[in-house]
Structure 1
């Protein structure tokens, strides 16, 4: 039997139970230009525009909205003067790093970088600012970064970075060491890779680009990227912007003017936690195929099953973030 790539882990309409590959497809099904009439009618009366779920009564919807709607985070680092950010007491910095490494209850770390331009035409991305936030939206690490080559374009309109910000910036090599210390819980990298040590889940948007600019590598199975998570993609399989995802799933706008790395970290972490908290049913273990192939005896049983029952045992071709909470 051919494995179906529709599974309980994928978005579905609460009214007609239609399975969708992406949340954007489900949104078009409910409130798009040509929605399904009956679904659109019920959704307009009892549906949440953020999580796209339909509730039995309007009262339940009102109670749900208070928890589903998020408020923009208060500025945590943007208001600090560069001198305060870069010249903070070194003992205090080390204490923050030590506490973050010892907190076993923190399983996820969100990271965001701001780039400036290098090279003759300023098109080369150089990391000039980095921020790490835990699941409680507290800043674990934040600093300005001194790039290894000269900067030719500060991209102030987007980055908000000026030359004076980088006067006391931390060297890139030292930033790499600090970030690895946080993500690997202070353990040696070889222990993580060879002996199965514990490392943090890294959350963010377009993390491949951030890691490349930082000169870092991180295990793929520990990366949760909102730009690559299949249900969050556009219907044409390209990534949505973090601003769009924040407005669609959290209900507020970000990146108004210059980008704030703390604000971006919090948005990515909130989206990740929202996807992680989805309650999806697991596939029935007795029907899991060996090496991707169902036995002939099982095929006869499967042919007699209803489409609804088959859906419960079909397999997804992506790792659902709800598995992180199990």
Structure 2
């Protein structure tokens, strides 16, 4: 049976693009197995702190992007990867993952059925399916990754 991890990333803005600021990965039990802040790879023009929870001091001691990217790549290699809108996280990490091993809650038909087929926000999924309030103010990649794993574990056979 393949390992299962849930991942969430927080981004900041550099010019007109998002860049990685933090990545968190949790295992099947919700235990954090990786939580890293990332040194900016470009000049930050907006920390988006009210959404990302990222502030300048978080990134001052961040790890180099390549180090974090390699840690993530080694950890998720061959596993089932759970998340919400994972394409953005993988793009920020400059990684790919086998489509057959991705469990993207934003694309899960059962969650989107009552929303005209459009993705439902993770915050809404957590509230509706877990009875949990998340993203009440700043986002926290650890909290979001745990919510993703819990949602997946609640419906593991429907994928």
Bin the TM-score by the shorter chain: over 0.9
Give the Å deviation of 1:106: 6.9
The Cα shift of 1:226 comes to 0.3
- Determine if the alignment matches structure 1 residue 173 to structure 2 residue 66: yes
Q: Within 5 Å, give how 1:6-155 maps onto structure 2.
A: 107-119=3-15, 123-155=16-48
Q: How much has 1:244 moved relative to structure 2?
A: 0.7
C-alpha contact 1:234 1:240 (8 A) present in aligned 2: no
The alignment covers a number of residue pairs equal to: 158
SS at match of 2:20: strand
- Greater relative contact order structure (CA < 8 Å, 6+ sep): 2
- Cα deviation 1:131-150 (Å, max 9, x = unaligned): 00000111100110112111
1:157 counterpart residue number: 50
Residue number among 83, 90, 94 corresponding to 1:215 in the alignment: 94
TM-score w.r.t. length of structure 2: 0.94
Find out whether 1:271 has 2:156 as its counterpart. Answer: no
Structure having the higher Rg: 1
Of residues 203-212 and 166-175 in structure 1, the stretch that sits farther from structure 2 once superposed is: 166-175
* Residues in 2 aligned to 1:154 and 1:266: alpha-carbon distance in whole angstroms: 23
In the TM superposition, what are the counterparts of 1:223-302 in structure 2 within 5 Å?
223-235=102-114, 236-276=116-156
Q: In structure 2, what is the Cα distance between the partners aligned to 1:270 and 1:161?
A: 24
C-alpha distance in structure 1 between counterparts of 2:84 and 2:64, whole Å: 24
CA distance in 1, matches of 2:24, 2:64: 15
Q: Secondary structure at the match of 1:202?
A: strand
Hey, what's the Cα distance between the residues in 1 that align with 2:23 and 2:132?
Answer: 23
- 1:234 shift after superposition: 4.1
- CA distance, structure 2, for counterparts of residue 151 and residue 166 of structure 1: 11
* Over 6 Å off, 4+ runs: none
Structure with greater strand share of residues: 2
In 2, Cα distance between equivalents of 1:214 and 1:147 = 12
Partner Cα separation in structure 2 for residue 127 and residue 201 of structure 1: 22
Task: Give the secondary-structure state (helix, strand or coil) at the position aligned to 1:109.
Answer: strand
- Give, in angstroms, the shift of residue 252 of structure 1: 1.7
Tell me, in whole angstroms, the C-alpha distance in 2 between the residues paired with 1:107 and 1:273. 13
TM-score by length of 1: 0.47
Shift of 1:210: 0.6
Contact 1:113 1:131 in 2 (8 A): yes
